[in-house]
Structure 1
């Protein structure tokens, strides 16, 4: 049991690895925390360092979530609640990194990080390898139709919650995995409070992919 519990702080530290900060620093020499939203996830890394930096960051963030779960499974001999909590702690580590601590003018410490979407996906893959076949297409379709990166991030956690809850109801995975999905959704929504506020105010940035696709096709046809 003590070895199993050891996997929890390890999961937090794995999640805390600041992939986006490292990638952007390597690509551009900039501190991603000083750009746009200040988050270290794939979306902001893309703004700071371009599409490849964003994609690499997302892949590394997902790898953190999967690694945290797999390490926990190894140390805890597959104890469901410990494994599920390791996934949750990986997301907490990503959102509030132990390696990105700042002190404000009042001396209060602030832990910086991302919103947890890619890490949630990675942890879900660690819990059930084939989960990406449901979660990723759902998020991609959602992004194309809706066009908000923040809501797409929430859709990842929402679909993870749905997948593991339905599987738990069917006896295909422990209820601890459904708890992971619920906790992941709560963490992602909490991290994206500023975005949800801007969405309510109508000032959230939208990527109109469908409009761009149709406009591009229209121009190509006109040239022909």
Structure 2
């Protein structure tokens, strides 16, 4: 298989992995509902938690994490033999971003989906595991204090570029522009997908986890 076809298939695989509608399937199979028409309208794990239950929400969260990790790990496996040199980083990053796009705008759900937090975590775990774990730690810490999922997601996303820069310094590997760009784009995507949540946070009206209405990350 020649290089252009491999690159194209890697990007396509990333998008299709990300677009697997795990939350929508949980709602449809277990409750006979379309999550796009219930709660926040998101197909992410928090809306599954509210509308379907804790067990299904955990499974959806794990599947969404695996989608992001699988996209990056697949690219890491397929691309090195192409001898792309420094460009390999950029193509691996592109595959991760394709997974995020697939999760947020799934082809199977008419361009709808979740807000890319769990899939973004998986992508980071596949790319730079320590950065992914650090982001998840920030998310859990903020959530334990605030009980607000969206606030936890936003603060974890904002910390990502700094954590990525810190990882370069810790490894002594020098700046990896593709990875830094990925961190910045991921932060921008999460903030964009949470723009309505941010408005409610600023207004003091964003509900807490376990309240009657919880907005999905």
Which residue is equivalent to 1:12? 15
Q: Secondary structure at the match of 1:114?
A: coil
1:200 corresponds to which of 195, 202, 214: 202
Deviation at 1:208, TM superposition (A): 8.1
Tell me if 1:35 matches 2:38: yes
How far apart are 1:198 and its partner, in Å? 1.7
* 1:121 and 1:160 in contact (8 A); partners too: no
The TM-score with structure 2 as length reference comes to 0.85
What is the alpha-carbon distance in structure 1 between the residues aligned to residue 164 and residue 97 of structure 2?
A: 14
Structure 2 match to 1:183: 185
Answer with 1 or 2: which has the greater Rg.
Answer: 1
TM-score by length of 1: 0.82
Q: What residue ranges of structure 2 are gaps of 5+ in the alignment?
A: 82-87, 212-217
2:35 is equivalent to residue 26 of structure 1: no
Deviation at 1:158, TM superposition (A): 2.9
Query: Which structure has more RCO (C-alpha within 8 Å, separation ≥ 6)?
Result: 2
Contact 1:165 1:177 in 2 (8 A): no
Alpha carbon RMSD of aligned pairs, Å?
Answer: 2.0
Q: Tell me how many residue pairs correspond in the alignment.
A: 200
**3-state secondary structure, aligned to 1:122:** helix
Q: Which deviations, in whole Å up to 9, do the C-alpha atoms of 1:94-147 show, x marking residues without a partner?
A: 11111100xxxxxxxxx1111111011000011023434322221100111222
**Equivalent residues of 1:92, 1:187 under 8 A apart:** no
- What CA distance in whole angstroms lies between the structure 1 residues aligned with 2:19 and 2:98? 9
The Cα shift of 1:172 comes to 6.2
The reply to whether residue 49 of structure 1 matches residue 52 of structure 2 is yes
Of 103, 109, 115, which residue of structure 2 is paired with 1:94? 103
Per the alignment, residue 120 of structure 1 pairs with 120
